[in-house]
Structure 1
Amino acid sequence: MRSIRARLLLVLLGMLALIAVVMGGATYRNVLAETEALFDYQLRQMALSLRDQGEVSQTQADALANEQLDFVVQIWTLDGRSIYATRPHEELPSRALLGLADVSVKGVVWRTYSVATPGRVIQVAQPLATRQRLAAEAALRSVIPLLVLVPLLAALAWWLSAMALSPLNRVANDVKARDGKLLQPLGVEGLPDEVSPLVNALNGLLQRLGQTLDTQRAFLSDAAHELRSPLTALKLQIESLRRAPDDAARMEAVTALSDGVDRAARIVEQLLALARSEPGAQPPAMEELDLCELVRQAVADTVPYALSRGSRFALQADTPVTVRGERQGLTALVRNLADNAVRYAPRGSQVELRVSVEQGAPVLQVDDAGAGIPPSERERVFDRFYRRAAGGEEGTGLGLAIVKSVAARHGASVTLSDSPLGGLRVQVRFPAP
């Protein structure tokens, strides 16, 4: 049973039924006992009223002889001779037991009360079955209002459960009416304290979802804009290749086309790397990695580009340094740092990479001899597609954005500062094991 309302109704109705049974049983027994006590009181009063009289008057005898009267009165002399009876009855007790007593005569049980006077014995009797029937009827009449009240209370419980759960229904209907474009917070006014935490959590989720959607829209818009230029250039270069008048022009067009393809492939590769490092992407598979070996492999992928510019790498990573992370993401981080250092440094310069442990935390440091980044722009360069005019080098504006995103997923921090080589120093500090 998954319905809260059904569970609530089941509990309430079960409690109501249990209370009704207990109260009904207690009321029935109490009324039954009180009625029996009342009948005993009537027996005593009738016997005592006859004791104080010298004889039974004719009017009183006629009244006592009424067949509709359940009471039977008998009077004996002290020697046992019957001198009065309200009416002949074969099943009447022939002897008196003083006080209250239950007397059985021929299978019929009588409730009697007898009292002795100086000259006679008076007994008032009543059939026990009649007493019990009358007492049961009186007790049942006292329970009937409770039986009538139970359905009303059940209806009230049903209404109260509906009223208690109406805030949840309101919140559910409000959420159901939302779509991807309607992510405003849910209203919290008038909600009970038990529902407010749920609504606040949903509002936080809607806010994060809205931020994620806005980020994705901006990312797609910027990606489309960035891809439009290289794709257009590729189309123009293909047209130039088609119209080349001689082999020299054709070779020049092929070279330009190859460079355009490389630039488009780099943009696509960086876009995919950035998408994989987004906060909403699938969590990476973490493993224990040797940061020194990972840096060597990532730098090896950038060596051909560095050689084409006459640049070289200097790597200081002799002692194994263990980090816990995702291999593909960290490889992209190192590759982008190395590529940026070579791209924005003068041709023929040196790029230094160092892996070390500082205060128990693994640190990756990259130094170049380029123009560096002014302190006023060191926060903006982590934005997607943000590019600075530096030495006429073309870039995508995604390298440092990928580095920042991958580092954030690994709990690492990225800081930019001036390098002793004259350019930029990038330092990535990983959390201590």
Structure 2
Amino acid sequence: MRREPSITRRLILALTSTMVIFWLAAIGLGIQVMQHEFDELFDSAQQETAQRLLALIVDDLNQRAETYASGVAILNTPASREYLTYQVRDKDGNVVLRSNDASPEPFDAPLVRGFHNNDHQRIYTEATADDALFMQVADRLGNRREAVRESAVTLLLPLIVLIPASIFAIWLILGRALKPIETLRRDIATKDSGNMAAIEGDGLPKEIKPIARSVNLLLARLRSALEAEREFTANSAHELRTPIAGALAQTQRLAEELSAGAARTRALQVESSLVDLGRLAEKLLQLSRAEAGIGASDKAADLSKVLEMIVSDYERDSRTKGRVNYVPDAGATLVRYADMDAFGIVMRNLIENALLHGDQDRPATVSLDKAGTIRVVNGGPAIREADLAGLKKRFRRGTTSASGSGLGLAIADRIVAQMGGTLELLSPASDETSGFEAKVNLPA
């Protein structure tokens, strides 16, 4: 699975890589400087050693009054490996004295004062005043390379700790630096048609203040567009109420005056159409109120009283009497921070949906448990899961022949969300093999 692009990941990789590159470049420069300084230090020690040894050996030979041409003397020392080896040679190039780790063969260097390099050694030559004896001190080039190599490794070792420490430090710093962006993202995520308040940009860094200003301009345009849409919907629905009611009354009167026949049948059809049109106008008015964000409230109210009143209204209506059963748990209450009118719209839509689309031979059941969960259950065949997921969308209806606008569940879901709750649709209903259930949970 391909990972999503991440600014933090890119910055951590870029900054860590840059740091490592600079560190390696510094090590390379440091190695060059160290190599130069080591060469100076070793050359100085080599030259000083040659001068001191030559003086001591000449003095020792003079005291013994021995001829050094009689053979090669070996100076035995306890060291198993000498960093500096030397040979004392006469003017003919013969070795008359050497250290125990030195080669018995003459060094590959001319008998001339100064330094000379061969493939494996750097040799310094010093001579007596009469040029009768020559002291040659050799330093293995491998010793110098080893010193430089060990120094370089010592500089590289901190990278083992520095890389993970740098990644953690950069991640921590970026987390704090990007915190305003995350805050802005959360603020933007809360914006919807019910929350179009401008984003506070005073505490934001100057780099992202233009984003906040652009979002606020966009929100202002959306507010204007939504307000215009709501006003149009509300005004249209409100203005349609009176003429629809008048036309419905006239149609009903006309239907009563006509005798049985084709004309009366058409009048009844017109009456049914006007009833549906009036219901649609009412739904549009409710939708405009839902879009305006009427659900939230800063005052607590006992919504169980509202629920009892709504059920009693259906019981008093001759068309729905006996079709709604209210089954509250003993002692159940529903004290919530919600607008009572908005809650009434939700429950009327859910009950109306149950009565219109449920089994006409079975009453709808409204229940309230002690946890505050409201369930509206109706009979009927189970709804497919694919169809169930789309019932909360506007103008979306299930497979039914009943009249309706397809707005009731969308309005209820919108208002419940504004209250901070959830509307869950289930089919078949809980503990049933068929039917439909709308379950409302509001936060305490």
Taking structure 1 as the reference length, the TM-score comes to: 0.50
**TM-score using structure 2 length:** 0.49
Q: Which has the larger radius of gyration?
A: 1
